[in-house]
Every structure is written in C-alpha cells, then in structure tokens.
Structure 1
C-alpha cells in the first residue's frame, strides 16, 4: 500500500469521525422529512408536463382525423366532378396526413403509457414517503423519551452521589419527630381537660336548643300542644240494699245469740 493511499485513508478517518461527532440524528431526520415533502411538488410538476404532452397529442390526433375526413370527402367530390387531377392532389395529401396520423397515434400511446407509469411512480413514492416519515417520527419520539429517561437517571445519580438521599431522609425524620412531639403535647393537653363534663354540657346545650325550637314551633302553630293527662275518676260509692224481713230477723237472732 502506497504512502499516499494510507495518508488519504487517515484523512478520511480523521474528518469522518469529526463529522460523525458533529451530526445530530434528530436534526438530520427532520431535514429528511422536509426534503421528502419538498419532492412532492416537483413530482407533480413533472407529471403535469407528461399529462400536457398527452393532451397535445390527443388534440393532434383529432385534428389529423378531421383532416383525413375532409380530404376523403374532397377526393370523392373531385372524382364525381370528373376532375381526377384534383383528386390525385388530394390523394397525395391524404396519404401524408394518414402517415402523420399514424405517427401521432403511436406517440400518443407512448405518452399515455408514460403518464400511467408516472402516476404509479408517484403513488409508490407517496407510500414510501409516508412510511419513512412515520419511521422518522417514531425514532424522534423514541429519542425524546430516551433524553427524558437520561435526565431521570442523572437526577437519581445526583441523589446518591451528592448526598441528597441522606439529607432527604434526615429532613423527613426531623419532621416525623416534630409531629410526634406535637401529638404528645396534644394528648397531654386533652388528659388535663374534663372531657365528660364538656360532653354533658354540650348535650345539655343541645337539649336546651331543641326545647327553644319546640317553643317557637308551638307559637307558630306548627306543633300541637301535648294533651295533659286526665284526672282519675272517683270510685263509685257502694249502696247498701235494704235487707229483707227474714234476713233481718236472722241477723238480730244471731246478734242476740252472741
């Protein structure tokens, strides 16, 4: 291997590595998407040119066919009029026009085939363009996710390396201790208060408030007064029926016997 070849290879490896290091895949993919989209108008312009050629050839074919028809009619008219010389001149023009018509039709066939092929190429290009754009967008989204994951990983590493984990746990422990002290003070304060007396007072206040509301309802006619309990009726007096004469005599006799 010559010295010059080795030198060129060294230069390519040196600058190639530098260029590769400067390349940003995200920016390159975005540029590729823009270039793919920019190619569509150019392709449409080329297809329009092919279509215009087809239209021109179709008009030329129609014009030649009309000219052939006119020449045939003139030849027939000249023959009927006995002017073979004029018919011969028209016959020569007819022959040239038919040759031109045949060539134009052949060109039209090629132009139409080229137009159909251009449309097929365009459809294939659009499908491939859409596939490449979707692939590039997915790669860009994956790149963004990877960048976010890298930031999270850096943050976790900083927690561990910079001593943030230890500080974090220490602050949490201090807050827990302060919370425990506050709860203990609250329990001591509650122990020194007669909760039962407070509860009784609260219940009494609720009963008094309910009675006041009931009085208001009585005054407003929303409640009927409670009926008072009825007094007990006096027991009926026992009446002594008069004894019959026989029974009275027996009673007196028994009293005397005693």
Structure 2
C-alpha cells in the first residue's frame, strides 16, 4: 500500500513539476551555475600553482645556501680549521638532502599545476560549448513558443464562436428567404392575382387592337376582310346580285 501511495504522489507531483518547468529558465540557470564554478576553479588552480612557486623558492634558497657552505668549507680548510670545515660539511649534507627532496616535490608540483591548468582550460572550453548549445536551444524554444501561439491564434479563428455565429445567421437568412418565396408563390396563385392578370391581358389585347386600327387608318396595313366574305370567299368571287344583297 505504501509503495502505491508513493508511486501516486510521485506521478502527481512529477506531472506538476514537469508542467511548471520552463526549459529557457533552466538552461539559463545551468549557464549561471557553470560560470559560478569558474572562480572556485581558478582558486584551486592558484593554490596548486602557489605550492609549486613555494617549492621553487625553497630549491633556490637551498641551492644558494649550499653554494655558501661550499665556500665556507673551502675557506676553513685553507685556514687549517678542519673542525669548522667538518661542521660546514655536515650542514651542507643536510641541505643537499633537503634540496633533493624539494626538487622531487617540485617536479610533482609542476605536474599537478599543469594538470590543474589543463583541467581548467578543458572546463572553460566545455562551458563555452555548453553555453553556445544552451543559447541555440533557448532560441529554438522561443521559436517553438511563437509557433504555438500562432497555431493557437489560427485555431481560435478556425474553430470558435464566430464560425458558429456565421452558421447560425446563415441558417436564419435561408429560412427567411424560403418563407418569403413561399409567400410570394401563394400570392401569385390567389383568385385576386388571377383576376388582375386577366385584366392585364384584356388591356393588352385592347391596346393591340387600337394599334392595328391606327395602322389601318394610316394605310400602313390593308383592311381586314369581313366575316361574311371570309365565309363565302373574297369580294372578287361574288356576282353583282350577291354584292347588292350584301349591301
């Protein structure tokens, strides 16, 4: 049960932390942490190099003292003071032993200094590469965030309340237009509409008849044969008695 609870808490808080993490801020903090290590690293390298410098001074001092003791030994021998020369010789032997140890330590210190400097240079080079990579990743993160914002903006235009409003208004307008067309069609099919149409046709016929009469009066078209002549043929086919009877 306890393991299940731990797994549950880890999944909950892990998701919260993952959602709250900002890659840009984390990379910037990593760069700052790497830069903060440089002064400490320089201090460590300086301590190693200071030990080398101290050993170099010690070697130089021992070499100078040995040279002085050598001169004193020669002087004592010339003066016939073998006892003093023997004392100087014993002291010089101690200095020579110390010089040998100091030189060995100096050699080790020089290697340590070289390694420390090389480590510091490698760290600075690595830090420079990491900084360049971090800056590139930050730029990519900014571009990705801008693309996400642009995509969200475009999505709000494509799928939003405005699209639903347009569809709703289009449907209302279509229904209104259909209703108006139906009313218009019903109005044209009514008795009053048919009577008005009949009256318009009568007026048109009368106007056409008046127009024809004017043209006949003006001699633009021939006179129309009478109905009786149409029944029995034209006037040229009638005899004189028939014409008199018609008159």
TM range (shorter): 0.5 to 0.7
* C-alpha distance 133-58 of structure 1, shift in aligned 2 (>3 A): same
Distance 1:90 1:19 in 2: 76
Q: Out of 105, 108, 126, which is 1:107 matched to?
A: 105
Q: TM-score, normalised by structure 2?
A: 0.61
User: Where do residues 165-244 of structure 1 align in structure 2 (5 Å cutoff)?
Assistant: none
Matched-pair contact (CA < 8 Å) for 1:47–1:118: yes
**Cα deviation per residue 1:203-234 (whole Å; 9 max; x = unaligned)?**
xxxxxxxxxxxxxxxxxxxxxxxxxxxxxxxx
The runs of 4+ residues in structure 1 deviating greater than 6 Å are 165-168
Distance 1:62 1:94 in 2: 15
Q: Out of 131, 134, 155, which is 2:132 matched to?
A: 134
* SS state at 1:32 partner: helix
Q: 1:63 aligns to what?
A: 61
Superposition deviation, residue 21 in structure 1: 2.9
**Cα deviation per residue 1:20-72 (whole Å; 9 max; x = unaligned)?**
33322221111001111111111111112222221111111110000000111
Equivalences, count: 166
Distance 2:4 2:151 in 1: 43
Q: 1:144 aligns to what?
A: 142
Distance 1:135 1:61 in 2: 47
Distance 1:153 1:5 in 2: 41
Distance 2:144 2:110 in 1: 51
Matched-pair contact (CA < 8 Å) for 2:69–2:89: yes
* C-alpha distance 16-164 of structure 1, shift in aligned 2 (>3 A): closer
Q: Out of 22, 25, 29, which is 1:24 matched to?
A: 22
Structure 2 regions of 5+ residues with no counterpart?
A: 167-247
Q: Out of 35, 48, 51, which is 1:50 matched to?
A: 48
Distance 1:48 1:70 in 2: 33
* C-alpha distance 155-17 of structure 1, shift in aligned 2 (>3 A): closer
Q: Out of 71, 96, 99, which is 1:98 matched to?
A: 96
Superposition deviation, residue 13 in structure 1: 3.9
* SS state at 2:80 partner: coil
Higher relative contact order (CA 8 A, sep 6+): 2
- Comparing both structures, which one devotes a greater share of its residues to helix? 2
Distance 1:120 1:82 in 2: 56
Distance 2:5 2:83 in 1: 85
Matched-pair contact (CA < 8 Å) for 1:50–1:114: yes
Q: 2:154 aligns to what?
A: 156
Distance 1:21 1:41 in 2: 34
